[in-house]
Structure 1
Amino acid sequence: MNFEQIHVVCVGNSTLDRVWLVDQLPVGGGKFRAHDYLELGGGMAANAAVAVARLGGAASYWGRNGNDTAGHTMREELSGYKVDVAQFRLVDGARSSVSAILVSNDGERSIVNFRGSDIPADASWLPVAEIAKVQAVHGDVRWVAGALAAYTAARELGVPTVLDGEIAEPEDYQVLLPLVDHAIFSEPGLRSFLGDAVNVGDELSPVLGLQRARDLGCRVAAVTRGAKGTVWLDDAGVHFQPAFPVEVVDTTGAGDVFHGAYACAIAAGCGVAQAMRMASAVAAMKCTRKGGRAGIPTLAEVESFLARLEP
């Protein structure tokens, strides 16, 4: 597998993650000691772009944030990962998105996110004509106007599209899913799309939910479920990709990395099953290392990991 000839545009969210590593997640109020601290760029589309670059593809991040210290830190870090940030706009007077993340020794995390303020939703400045030169477009639900503009251009140009289906308003999905080829939800994201329509007690009915997503027009609808693996639905029916068992250190950004790796594989012409396996391996390997981006493996590392699993 070679991703050197592919280019993926990632449209949407970027945030600055301030990460405290603790023995266990706090319960209730009080003072708690962290044994390490990291300040890292994060965000769904931005992390996906870094995953594409780490795997050897060309990645462009299209987004916006505040023209403040956090915004400049994010843009500089993305550039350091060889992500093209020419369309990462920093807006005067806006406040950037920042997250506080607590990560426990077992790899679980708690996230408190400030999504920023006074960041314009307008996407008319995006150079959507450039999508003709790329092999895939990835978007998230945090900037609907940006994703909509990119997806509309991609559909007209025949460029495949991938959606990171996180928690959002149901009406946002009504707008985006008709233009999406591959919609990959988290479990909370799928619940937010469905509202109260498809729940049995506390158990999500993923297949019925995925069918509802396909009814809106997407070709492949999937839900990632962490250690329980990934379920997807396409024209051929229901499929399952098991999660790879690993020793978890930090799950931060695992879903974002999954999406970036999947978009990378689709851009390279891989089939859905191959792309799901690749994305699952990349996300699993990321979970064995600290940091949402620092833990993303290279393509050579992923291929070696998968080769060891072959019978």
Structure 2
Amino acid sequence: MTTQKPSTRRLVVVGSLNMDLVMRVPRAPEAGETLTGYDFATHPGGKGANQAVACARLGGKVTMIGRLGNDAFGHSLRDGLIAEGIADDTVGCDEGTATGVAMIMVDDSAQNRITLAPGTNAKLTPAHVEQQAALLDGAAMLILQLEVPMPTVLRAAELANRYGCPVLLNPAPATSLPDSIWPLIDYLVPNETEASLLTGLTVTDPASATEAAKILLTKGIRNVLITLGAQGVLIANSEGVQHLPAFPVDAVDTTAAGDTFIGGLSTGLAEGLPLGDAVRLGQRAASVSVTRHGAQPSIPYRAELDS
């Protein structure tokens, strides 16, 4: 059962909902190769839904804005949101389009390879967000990713700024962004690959992440947090640069680790924690998630961290 703190304000997630089809494999197959895997499972996923679930399990009060199909995967994903206490009345249904699907291979080194069929996620329009804009009034954070159309992401950020709601953007999957979105972002949270694409630098460690973060700050972003996997998180803003090392763990599956981190970070900020403490909450949650298989099944509850 999710534990919520009374002072926590609403977190609004605009993003994707997918059913994850997960196969564990010894390694990635070569082109044209048929490789025998270990096992197969279906799990609720999608970066938007993963981040919403992470916020809810870590103590946040969450509303999700997205789209699902009228199919078995869609019904299952909606049931999952409801079970987590996430408001789903803003998740629409498209009769003629299948729910989004992600095919995920996880190898013996715990690395994942993911391909997406966006399905109804591609049907989330700026108009859908505009219909729910009042939710942003007084909200603690708008949380965005890039598995829904870019015009929808941009419009959501514009509306959040109109209502004085902070915006967190996880620029994943990695892609270029329109210049107009940069000054709308309060918290940009890329990983090494995404930071590399956005800056043209090769980001591999805290030193190169520092250089990338300096470039991103010049675009008008207020806080840049670059996640570096086992090397921790780099925080950069007008106050300077800080590197927080990761908690050492034996990882078995990194799927949704970044989403779990964002859930902890966002929930901590919604509770009024200082940025560094909110980052550590996200890191603690992510360090648990990588010791478990799957996306949403790996996300811990706040009580697990507190104990």
Q: What's the counterpart of residue 308 of structure 1?
A: none
Q: 1:73 to 1:134 in 2, by over 3 A?
A: same
CA distance in structure 2 between the partners assigned to 1:149 and 1:106 by the alignment: 39
CA distance in structure 1 between the partners assigned to 2:204 and 2:298 by the alignment: 36
SS at match of 2:278: helix
More off after superposition, 90-99 vs 40-49: 90-99
Query: Superposed, which structure 2 residues align to 1:54-69 within 5 Å?
Result: 54-69=57-72
Q: 1:262 aligns with which of 253, 261, 265?
A: 265
Q: 1:183 aligns with which of 185, 188, 196?
A: 188
CA distance in structure 1 between the partners assigned to 2:11 and 2:120 by the alignment: 28
Q: What's the counterpart of residue 164 of structure 1?
A: 170
SS at match of 2:298: coil
Q: 1:231 aligns with which of 214, 224, 234?
A: 234
Relative to the length of structure 1, the TM-score reads 0.87
Q: What's the counterpart of residue 151 of structure 2?
A: 145
CA distance in structure 1 between the partners assigned to 2:103 and 2:296 by the alignment: 16
Per-residue CA deviation, residues 105-164 of structure 1 (Å, 9 max, x unaligned), is 432222222223793352213311121142211111233333333322322222222111
SS at match of 2:119: coil
Residue 279, structure 1, aligned to residue 285, structure 2: no
Relative to the length of structure 2, the TM-score reads 0.88
Answer whether contact 1:64 1:88 (CA < 8 A) is retained.
Answer: yes
Answer whether contact 1:4 1:56 (CA < 8 A) is retained.
Answer: no
Q: 1:38 to 1:171 in 2, by over 3 A?
A: same
SS at match of 1:94: coil
Q: 2:255 aligns with which of 252, 256, 259?
A: 252
Answer whether contact 1:177 1:183 (CA < 8 A) is retained.
Answer: no
Aligned residues: 301
Q: Which amino acid aligns with 2:273?
A: C
CA distance in structure 2 between the partners assigned to 1:280 and 1:201 by the alignment: 18
Q: 1:77 aligns with which of 80, 96, 108?
A: 80
Q: Which amino acid aligns with 1:233?
A: A
**Structure 1 residue 225: Cα displacement:** 1.1
Per-residue CA deviation, residues 2-51 of structure 1 (Å, 9 max, x unaligned), is 64442211111221101112344434444433333221111112101000
Q: 1:290 aligns with which of 284, 293, 299?
A: 293
**Structure 1 residue 203: Cα displacement:** 11
Q: 1:58 to 1:215 in 2, by over 3 A?
A: same
SS at match of 1:291: coil
List alignment gaps of at least 5 residues for structure 1: 305-311
Q: What's the counterpart of residue 36 of structure 2?
A: 33
RMSD: 2.5
CA distance in structure 1 between the partners assigned to 2:203 and 2:197 by the alignment: 15
Answer whether contact 1:129 1:153 (CA < 8 A) is retained.
Answer: no
**Structure 1 residue 212: Cα displacement:** 2.5
Q: What's the counterpart of residue 120 of structure 1?
A: 123
**Structure 1 residue 264: Cα displacement:** 0.9
Answer whether contact 2:121 2:147 (CA < 8 A) is retained.
Answer: no
List alignment gaps of at least 5 residues for structure 2: none
Q: 1:96 aligns with which of 75, 93, 99?
A: 99
Q: 2:16 aligns with which of 4, 13, 31?
A: 13
SS at match of 2:190: strand
CA distance in structure 2 between the partners assigned to 1:171 and 1:132 by the alignment: 25
Q: Which amino acid aligns with 2:246?
A: A
Q: 1:299 aligns with which of 287, 294, 302?
A: 302
CA distance in structure 2 between the partners assigned to 1:236 and 1:163 by the alignment: 20
More off after superposition, 146-155 vs 235-244: 146-155
More off after superposition, 134-143 vs 29-38: 29-38
Q: Which amino acid aligns with 1:84?
A: A
**Structure 1 residue 267: Cα displacement:** 1.1
Answer whether contact 1:91 1:119 (CA < 8 A) is retained.
Answer: no
SS at match of 2:44: strand
CA distance in structure 2 between the partners assigned to 1:51 and 1:222 by the alignment: 18
Answer whether contact 1:261 1:278 (CA < 8 A) is retained.
Answer: yes
Answer whether contact 2:26 2:108 (CA < 8 A) is retained.
Answer: yes
Answer whether contact 1:66 1:119 (CA < 8 A) is retained.
Answer: no
CA distance in structure 2 between the partners assigned to 1:212 and 1:43 by the alignment: 29
